[in-house]
Amino acid sequence: MADTIRARVVAGLESNPKYIPFSYKYDEVGSRLQKESCRMVQDYYLTASETSILQHQVRDIIPDVPNDLTLVDISSGDCSKTRFVIDELIKTQNTLIFYPLDISGEFLFKAATKLKEEYGDSLTVHPIASDYVEGIEQLRQIKGTKLILWIGTIFNLSYEDQINILRLISTIMTDRCRLAFSADITLSRDAIIMAYNDDAGYKRRMNLYGITRLNREEGSMIDLDKFSYHFDFIHNTNPEFTSYIRAYIEAKEDVQYPIPGLSMELVMKKGEHLYLHEGTGLSCKYTLEQLQTIVQKAGLRLAGTLIDKEKHAVFCQCVTK
């Protein structure tokens, strides 16, 4: 897997415009930084809103099917949000088989160990440390009815990949399975700027973590003082697209940095941009119509939506037909 990630970073740094793939931020340190940035930034609304839906409407996320659901969590992180669903399922069916999947292996294994310690025999955990594509392939072997969660993540993929990964997930679903994914429906520019451009710089540190990791693991000495950091929110009501955040660094002068571990150099002209995500942007924001379009394009049907009181987050409940 490490080689696949490296190949993606090389492809990003060689493309025009240059970018660092979003996934590259997620090693153990990056996963911790991400958690910390969500916890410490008071104005970061999404975690609280998603948690509120899970706390108050968890019964509606769990499909009305007989016992023996298997739970899958794609991009599970530390599984803290998943616990609401785990608790509810164990209450109704006594035992639960759970497959958390995440690219951040060490972080995932620690979370899985903690869950096993806490839940004992009532929970069987099968962590899958993998990228979506390989991981979903492994999930294909699971028999029976699955409840699949995909929380706090779809909006960080490119528009095409949001559809591609949803379509891939649909291939492991039968008509009895359910998928619930969360999305951000906030469209207030002020709320978004406050949440993602905090004065203490938590979100900025997280966005720049790909460069920090490159320097540490691949032996480069990219000096962030030679770049300015830029962040903007782009509002877009086109039903076939989304609003999004764009984050990039701009070279203040011509720069050239060898990256020994990748056998390449980062060469940038003064004024050139290096994006901190692939595709147009990250942290997409949606209208319900835009979400409906994405779900349809992936060949799924939007069976319902659950929205928090503040109207920041939505859980989209999807079925195969």
Ligand X SMILES: C[S@@+](CC[C@H](N)C(=O)[O-])C[C@H]1O[C@@H](n2cnc3c(N)ncnc32)[C@H](O)[C@@H]1O
Q: Which residues bind ligand X (CB under 6 A)?
A: 23, 26, 31, 34, 75-77, 81, 102-104, 131-132, 151-153
Residue 32 has which token pair?
């911790």
Q: How far is the CB of 31 from ligand X (least distance, A)?
A: 6
Closer residue to ligand X (CB): 154 or 255: 154
- Residues with Cβ within 8 Å of 163's Cβ and at least 6 positions away in sequence, in order, are 294, 297, 298
Q: How far is the CB of 45 from ligand X (least distance, A)?
A: 14
Separation of CA 98 from chain center: 19
Q: How far is the CB of 19 from ligand X (least distance, A)?
A: 14
| Distance from C-alpha of 120 to C-alpha of 23, rounded to nearest angstrom | 32
Closer residue to ligand X (CB): 80 or 250: 80
Closer residue to ligand X (CB): 81 or 277: 81
Three-state DSSP class for residue 84: helix
Closer residue to ligand X (CB): 35 or 246: 35
Closer residue to ligand X (CB): 153 or 186: 153
Residue type, 300: L
Q: How far is the CB of 167 from ligand X (least distance, A)?
A: 15
Q: How far is the CB of 154 from ligand X (least distance, A)?
A: 10
CA distances 12 to 112, 257, 277, Å, are 32, 15, 9
Closer residue to ligand X (CB): 24 or 119: 24
CA distances 172 to 60, 133, 140, Å, are 22, 12, 6
Q: How far is the CB of 37 from ligand X (least distance, A)?
A: 10
Cβ atoms of 99 and 142 closer than 8 Å: yes
Closer residue to ligand X (CB): 130 or 290: 130
Closer residue to ligand X (CB): 46 or 251: 46
| Distance from C-alpha of 176 to C-alpha of 35, rounded to nearest angstrom | 33
CA distances 176 to 65, 99, 171, 186, Å, are 8, 18, 13, 31
Residue type, 2: A
Q: How far is the CB of 95 from ligand X (least distance, A)?
A: 23
Cβ atoms of 61 and 321 closer than 8 Å: no
Closer residue to ligand X (CB): 206 or 255: 206
Three-state DSSP class for residue 297: helix
- Beta bridge partners, 124, equal 97
- Beta bridge partners, 96, equal 123
Residue 157 has which token pair?
């993929």
Q: How far is the CB of 56 from ligand X (least distance, A)?
A: 17
Q: How far is the CB of 77 from ligand X (least distance, A)?
A: 3
| Distance from C-alpha of 235 to C-alpha of 233, rounded to nearest angstrom | 6
Widest pairwise Cα distance in the chain? 63
